[in-house]
Amino acid sequence: MSEKAIRSRAYPDYFSSKLEHYLSLSKPRLLATVVLSALLGFVLPMGLSNTIFPLLFLLFGTALMGAGANTLNQCMEIGPDSRMYRTKNRALPMGKLSEKEAIIFGILISALGFFVLWFGLNFLTAVLGLLTLLSYIMVYTPLKQKTATNTWLGGITGALPPVMGWVAARGQLEWEVLPIFALLYFWQLPHFFAIAWMYRDDYKRGGFKMLSHYDKTGKRTAMQMLINCGMLYAASLAVFVVNEGSIFYLAGASALILVFFGVIVLFHKERSVENARKVFLASIIYLPLLIGILVLDQFFI
């Protein structure tokens, strides 16, 4: 085979691999949660009638800014990621992309997302997107190596996408968005406490100060899961109280929280990695199901 033919074969593989590494910087599974929560914030006050283009602008802009935030976060954590078993095979610790390439990529897609939200929707939605990005990389990320309170503070960042969706739909901030903000906030805490317990040794290796770092028995972690699961149900009730969900939604939300609470009780009784993993899996099933119930509630109830 000629050298030219070999090169022609190698180049597509090289560019495909490069694209795959760039996509991995966006943390697609985490990004999907962000986009779904923005969708929820949009649908609750607006529905979907005659709003397909604003919704597309919201989803595209939010995805770009979320991917940019995740990319820049990884640029700041190359050292810790390289020491942790669960992250050492990421593109940056492995040297599959350079830090400079990742920074340029992160800034470019963040800027593009900002302008998509601004010109496709409104300036306030874009500002909220920028606030989400900056609080993630300038507050939450550095605090992870300084204090265990990073989880509670980082939850604020994670609860902003539905607020972006609401402002995209309504053009202004309104108090009715608070229940859905609270729902996303209190969902995150058991979710991340479970992850921190599952990988507590790995987080210590990376230098991250998580609650599990100071909780040898797991009692504090289990109690925080229980407390915040209760707050999550209170937020679910608030969604119903402000007429953002019907009795159908309330029944579904109550059933889901009972299952979620039951799994957390298992962890409270036996604070094992396996039970923490069950809490984690329950959390990632809970949120899309709840969002699905709320969306269906808007159209069929």
- Does some domain include residue 248? yes
- Does some domain include residue 287? yes
> What does the pLDDT read at residue 112?
98
- Residue 196 and residue 105 share a domain: no
> What does the pLDDT read at residue 295?
85
Number of domains in the chain: 2
> What does the pLDDT read at residue 46?
73
pLDDT, tens digit, for every residue of 95-134? Answer: 999 999 999 999 999 999 999 999 999 999 999 999 999 9
CATH of the domain at 144: 1.10.357.140
pTM of the full predicted structure?
Answer: 0.90
> What does the pLDDT read at residue 10?
45
Low-confidence ranges of the chain (pLDDT < 50): 1-10
> What does the pLDDT read at residue 187?
96
Closest listed residue to residue 151, CA positions, set 80, 110, 212, 239:
212
